[in-house]
Structures are given as structure tokens and as C-alpha cells.
């Protein structure tokens, strides 16, 4: 049986930058299937990066058009199509792709996996074009499901799967157990992905890469922390599971030798949570003379860092770290966000990282339930104290599967069904008791401008490089953003 894995097109705000990130999840699924099936990949974002169409008053969709996607499906003629559904805001694009599959051949089986079907299984199974969903970790479950579909075996008791069990009837099986030996999972199968396009575009999530070829890697799964805005627990659980340092170093050596990788994107939520393991990885990179640079675009837990760890990271090739501080108000951190972080420690670590020559990006989540003008101004004040590092403000978003959504519904800050396309951290989805949506937008916009000017003052070369990168790789976004910044909209 031929299996086609699809990364759907992406809908973004007109003032939002396009990104093109190698889909690590699909690469893991491909690796689990490649020895037993004929596997193909269609990354509609990478292959249609410069193609965009209007998707409403404030949104555009970029990636291959549906006609081009249907043409590729017809050419490959798969028996099964797996569609990635990472973000709730993109679920309509997932449904559009599943519909395109059925329009080519209604007998092709469609399977949707990722965070959204994991947290909203009945809703996704309610779509007429979706045959199966996979919840949680997908490598083993997808392979088992593919075998049963291919041999026409009963799906009934397969854990981690949802399916239509009759007319108007849906079955959602219990979640599959998490893999406890992550070393047993094959390395991502990048050979069938359009790597040249990723390298040419050179614009993954986070900061633009400085060296190519580049690839992402993840060394652990699960998170023991309980931040209000995060849904990672629903996919990977609350228990921290980690690959061995030797297994991580083997993958690094593999992608360096096979693909000539020169920059690594560590995608972990908790790369340095186990200090001994992290030390072994970084020491191994130094001893192996890997000659790569690396960053943590998804963030690294600042509470796990000290000067010794930062120095070792720098020696092993680290050039940039992103740290999630979330709020500059101690009360918001402790009582609302539930982040075990001392602001004094965060400031000290960031100062040390800057002195070591690391580029630092600091993430803040603003507009959480309980946010007031006072707490927001405390966040702004703390951000300014960081000395011109790259600061990113994200608006609190009530994503399915998060504690934030539960709180917002309980306090009647969010009513009725969620409008998924608006679940984007670039715009506030709700106002708080102390701040309206319009006030949040205005206050954050003014502070962004101040910090933007501060960044230019402290880092003029980095600023010019960022502007140049935008002009070269996405000039339409550059001018849309400037126009939108001068004439902001609230909805």
C-alpha cells in the first residue's frame, strides 16, 4: 500500500510572517513506515511557499493550491493519506485537504493526527472527509493502523485511534500508552522531504537560521510544568521522557554526515531539564568536533540554566536561545500562569547569556485571565530591564486542551464554540476584567515600538540583518506588516 503524508497549506494574518519549517512529526511517522510501506510526502507549505491566496478580510493562505494538491494525489495514487493537524487554527486547511483526497478517489483512506485531533477527537471525526484520527504519539499507532487497513483487519480495539463505527456513530478508543524508550524510535526519515526547498527558503519558525543546511531535532518529550497556556501535556503527557545522550549524538552525526547539516534547531520544551544528560550531549558535540551552530527556537526553561551550563552550550556551538519568561509580574507567574520561575534568576541568566555572546529572545504571554494595567506594566518594565534583547509579546490564547480555556469558560470570558482561525497569539482572543481587547492591543503595540527602538540601539547589525532577510525572503510581508502597523485593526 502506498501512503502519502501531507503537510497542509497554512492560513496566516496578512501582517504575519510566512514560515517554512521541516515537519519533524511527519518525518518521524515516515521513519516508522518506510520499511514496510511505500511512503511519499507532500509538504504543501514548502512546495508552494511563494503561492498565496486571500482567505478572508484579514487572512491569507500560503502553500500549494488545492488543484495542485489534487494533481499530486492523483499522480501518486495512494491507498492511505495521513494529514498533519498540529494547530487548532489550521484545522480548516486539514479538512480542505481531506476533501481534496476524497474528490480524487473516495476509496482513499484519510487519517488525521496531531494535537488538534488529540484534544478534540469527536469534533474532527465529525468531519465527513476524515476516516480515522490518531491521538497522542503517532509512530507506532499509525503503523499498526496502516497494517490493519491494508489487510482489512478489524480496527475495533486499537488504542489511540478514532473511527466511524456506523452511520452517524463515532468510536474514540482509549489513548495509547506513551513510549518509554524513546531510543527505540527510528530517526526522522528526511530523505523523502524537499530539503533543498527548506534550505533555500531558510525561514523556519523562530529566528532565521544563520547557516544552511539546517534541520530540527528533538531529544525529549513530556513536560512536568503546568503553564496555563500550554497544551503539550495532551499530546506527550506530564512525565518527562528523554532520549539517551548517545542516541542524540548518533542522530546529530547522522544528519551531519548524510545531509551536510551545519545548524541544528533543538525543538525540546525541556532540553536542559536533566543537567547531566544535557552536559553529556554538549560535551559529546565538542569532543566530536561537529562544527555546527545551534539554537532553541521553541524555548529553553530558564530555571534550568546557570553560568556553567550556558558556557558549555556556547562552547558546543550554541548561538541563540529563546527563553519563556511569560510575565514580569511575580503574582501573575505564581498564581495565574503557574510557572516556577524567579524573575531575578531570569534576569541574571539572560545577562550572563548576553555576556557570553549568545543572542537571546525573551517570550512573554500577555492578557492572561487576571491581567490588569498594573501587571501588564510590570511586564513591560521587566522587559526593558533586559537590555535590548529580542522581546516577543504573545497574546494569551485559549487553545483546546489548555487550562486557560477551562478558566476562560468558567469566568465567562469565552462563550460558545471557539473560532479556530482566530486562535493565534498575534491577536487577543478575549479581554480581561481589567483590560479590554482594544486596550491590550494599544498598550502592547506602543510597548513593542519602544522595545523595537531599544533593540535597534543595542543591536544595529542584527536589526539590519533581520530587515534584509525579510526584504529578500518575504518582501510582501515586509510591506504588509509596515502598513498594518501604521493602521492596526482590532478584529
In contact, 183 and 189? CB cutoff 8 Å: no
Q: Which bin fits 162, alpha (ψ -120 to 50), beta or left (φ > 0)?
A: beta
Q: What is the mean pLDDT of residues 422-440?
A: 91
Q: Is residue 474 part of a domain?
A: no
Q: Is residue 476 part of a domain?
A: no
282-291 residue pLDDT tens:
999 999 999 9
Q: Give the pLDDT score at 486.
A: 45
> Over 80: is that where the pLDDT of 207 sits?
no
For residues 211 and 331, state if they share a domain: yes
User: How would residue 281 be classed by pLDDT, with cut points 50, 70 and 90?
Assistant: very high
Q: Domain containing 33 — which CATH number?
A: 3.40.50.280
Q: Give the pLDDT score at 461.
A: 67
- As to burial, measured by CB atoms within 10 angstroms (0-12 exposed, 13-18 middle, 19+ buried), residue 170 is middle
Q: For the ranges 25-39, 94-108, 275-289, 411-425, which has the lowest average pLDDT?
A: 411-425
Per-residue HEC secondary structure of 202-222 comes to CCCCCCCCCCCCEEEECCEEC
What's the whole-model pTM score? Answer: 0.92
Angle (CA) 366-389-392 rounded to 5° is: 25
186-204 residue pLDDT tens:
999 999 999 999 999 988 8
Q: Give the pLDDT score at 490.
A: 42
Q: Give the pLDDT score at 168.
A: 79
For residues 9 and 151, state if they share a domain: yes
> Over 80: is that where the pLDDT of 481 sits?
no
> Over 60: is that where the pLDDT of 134 sits?
yes
376-411 residue pLDDT tens:
999 999 999 998 788 999 999 999 999 999 999 999
For residues 24 and 74, state if they share a domain: yes
> Over 50: is that where the pLDDT of 12 sits?
yes
Which residue in the block uniquely carries the three cell numbers 517570550? 363
> Over 70: is that where the pLDDT of 242 sits?
yes
301-318 residue pLDDT tens:
999 999 999 999 999 999
Q: Is residue 197 part of a domain?
A: no
Closest CA to 284 of 238, 259, 252, 328: 252
Task: Please give the residue range of the domain that contains residue 261.
Answer: 204-458
> Over 80: is that where the pLDDT of 103 sits?
yes
Q: Domain containing 229 — which CATH number?
A: 3.80.30.20
> Over 80: is that where the pLDDT of 477 sits?
no
Q: Give the pLDDT score at 241.
A: 96
Q: What is the mean pLDDT of residues 250-269?
A: 97
Q: Give the pLDDT score at 485.
A: 46
In contact, 112 and 130? CB cutoff 8 Å: yes
For residues 241 and 290, state if they share a domain: yes
User: How would residue 475 be classed by pLDDT, with cut points 50, 70 and 90?
Assistant: low
Helices (H), 105-206: 115-119, 121-125, 139-150, 195-201
Q: Give the pLDDT score at 226.
A: 87
Q: Is residue 180 part of a domain?
A: no
Helices (H), 319-372: 330-331, 343-355
Closest CA to 11 of 63, 50, 49, 48: 63
For residues 413 and 353, state if they share a domain: yes
For residues 144 and 254, state if they share a domain: no
For residues 348 and 423, state if they share a domain: yes
Output helix, strand, coil percentages for the chain, rounded to the nearest 5: 45, 20, 40
For residues 222 and 163, state if they share a domain: no
Number of domains in the chain: 2
For residues 324 and 230, state if they share a domain: yes
Q: Which of 115, 150, 172 is the last residue of a domain?
A: 172
For residues 446 and 316, state if they share a domain: yes
For residues 237 and 335, state if they share a domain: yes
Q: Give the pLDDT score at 452.
A: 81
For residues 223 and 270, state if they share a domain: yes
Highest mean pLDDT among 56-60, 165-169, 252-256: 252-256
Mean pLDDT of the chain: 91
> Over 90: is that where the pLDDT of 272 sits?
yes
316-352 residue pLDDT tens:
999 999 999 999 999 999 999 999 899 999 999 999 9
> Over 50: is that where the pLDDT of 488 sits?
no
Q: Give the pLDDT score at 130.
A: 97
In contact, 273 and 225? CB cutoff 8 Å: no
Q: Is residue 255 part of a domain?
A: yes
> Over 50: is that where the pLDDT of 491 sits?
no
Find all residues with CB under 8 Å of 174, minimum gap 6, and list them. Answer: 159, 160
Q: Which residue has the higher pLDDT, 155 or 79?
A: 79
- Cα distances (Å, whole numbers) of residue 114 to 55, 87, 119, 143: 23, 8, 9, 15
> Over 70: is that where the pLDDT of 473 sits?
no
> Over 80: is that where the pLDDT of 167 sits?
no
Q: For the ranges 46-60, 287-301, 453-467, which has the lowest average pLDDT?
A: 453-467
Which residue in the block uniquely carries the three cell numbers 545577562? 351
Highest mean pLDDT among 202-211, 389-398, 451-460: 389-398
> Over 80: is that where the pLDDT of 138 sits?
yes
* DSSP helix/strand/coil, 468: helix
Of all residues in the chain, what percent carry a pLDDT higher than 90? 77
Amino acid at each position: 500500500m502506498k501512503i502519502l503524508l501531507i503537510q497542509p497549506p497554512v492560513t496566516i494574518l496578512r501582517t504575519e510572517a510566512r514560515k517554512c519549517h521541516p515537519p519533524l512529526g511527519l518525518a518521524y511517522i515516515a521513519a516508522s513506515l518506510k520499511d514496510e510501506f511505500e511512503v511519499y510526502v507532500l509538504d504543501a507549505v514548502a512546495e508552494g511557499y511563494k503561492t498565496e491566496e486571500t482567505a478572508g478580510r484579514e487572512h491569507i493562505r500560503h502553500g500549494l493550491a488545492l488543484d495542485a494538491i489534487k494533481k499530486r494525489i492523483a499522480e501518486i495514487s495512494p491507498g492511505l493519506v495521513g494529514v498533519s493537524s498540529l494547530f487548532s487554527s489550521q484545522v480548516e486547511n486539514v479538512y480542505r485537504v481531506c476533501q481534496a483526497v476524497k474528490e480524487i478517489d473516495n476509496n482513499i483512506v484519510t487519517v488525521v493526527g496531531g494535537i488538534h485531533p488529540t484534544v478534540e477527537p469527536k469534533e474532527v471525526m465529525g468531519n465527513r472527509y476524515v476516516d480515522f484520527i490518531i491521538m497522542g504519539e503517532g509512530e507506532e499507532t499509525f503503523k499498526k493502523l496502516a497494517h490493519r487497513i491494508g489487510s482489512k483487519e478489524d480496527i475495533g480495539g486499537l488504542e489511540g485511534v478514532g473511527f466511524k463505527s456506523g452511520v452517524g456513530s463515532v468510536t474514540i478508543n482509549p489513548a495509547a500508552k506513551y513510549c518509554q524508550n524513546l531510543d527505540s524510535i527510528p530517526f526522522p526519515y528526511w530523505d523523502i522531504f524537499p530539503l533543498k526547498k527548506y534550505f533555500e527558503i531558510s525561514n523556519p519558525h523562530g529566528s532565521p537560521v544563520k547557516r544552511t543546511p539546517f534541520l530540527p531535532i528533538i531529544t525529549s518529550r513530556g513536560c512536568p510544568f503546568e503553564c496555563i497556556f500550554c497544551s503539550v501535556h495532551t499530546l506527550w503527557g506530564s512525565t518527562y521522557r528523554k532520549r539517551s545522550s548517545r542516541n542524540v549524538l548518533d542522530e546529530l552525526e547522522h544528519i551531519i554526515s548524510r545531509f551536510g547539516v551545519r545548524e541544528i534547531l533543538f525543538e525540546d520544551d525541556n532540553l536542559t531539564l536533566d543537567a547531566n544528560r544535557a552536559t553529556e550531549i554538549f560535551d559529546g558535540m565538542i569532543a566530536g568536533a561537529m562544527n555546527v551552530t545551534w539554537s532553541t527556537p521553541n524555548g529553553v526553561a530558564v530555571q534550568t540554566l546557570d553560568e556553567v551550563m550556558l558556557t558549555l552550550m556556547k562552547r558546543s556551538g550554541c548561538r541563540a536561545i529563546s527563553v519563556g519568561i511569560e510575565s514580569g509580574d511575580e503574582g501573575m507567574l505564581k498564581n495565574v500562569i503557574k510557572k516556577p520561575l524567579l524573575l531575578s534568576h531570569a534576569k541574571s541568566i539572560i545577562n550572563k547569556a548576553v555576556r557570553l555572546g549568545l543572542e537571546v529572545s525573551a517570550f512573554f504571554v500577555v492578557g492572561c485571565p487576571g491581567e490588569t494595567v498594573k501587571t501588564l506594566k510590570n511586564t513591560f518594565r521587566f522587559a526593558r530591564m533586559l537590555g535590548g534583547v529580542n522581546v516577543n509579546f504573545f497574546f494569551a490564547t485559549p487553545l483546546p486542551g489548555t487550562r486557560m480555556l477551562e478558566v476562560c469558560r468558567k469566568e465567562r470570558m469565552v462563550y460558545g464554540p471557539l473560532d479556530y482561525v482566530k486562535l493565534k497569539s498575534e491577536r487577543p482572543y478575549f479581554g480581561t476584567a481589567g483590560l479590554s481587547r482594544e486596550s491590550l492591543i494599544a498598550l502592547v503595540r506602543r510597548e513593542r515600538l519602544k522595545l523595537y527602538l531599544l533593540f535597534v540601539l543595542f543591536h544595529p547589525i542584527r536589526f539590519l540583518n533581520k530587515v534584509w532577510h525579510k526584504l529578500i525572503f518575504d518582501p510582501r510581508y515586509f510591506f504588509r506588516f509596515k502598513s498594518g502597523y501604521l493602521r492596526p485593526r482590532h478584529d
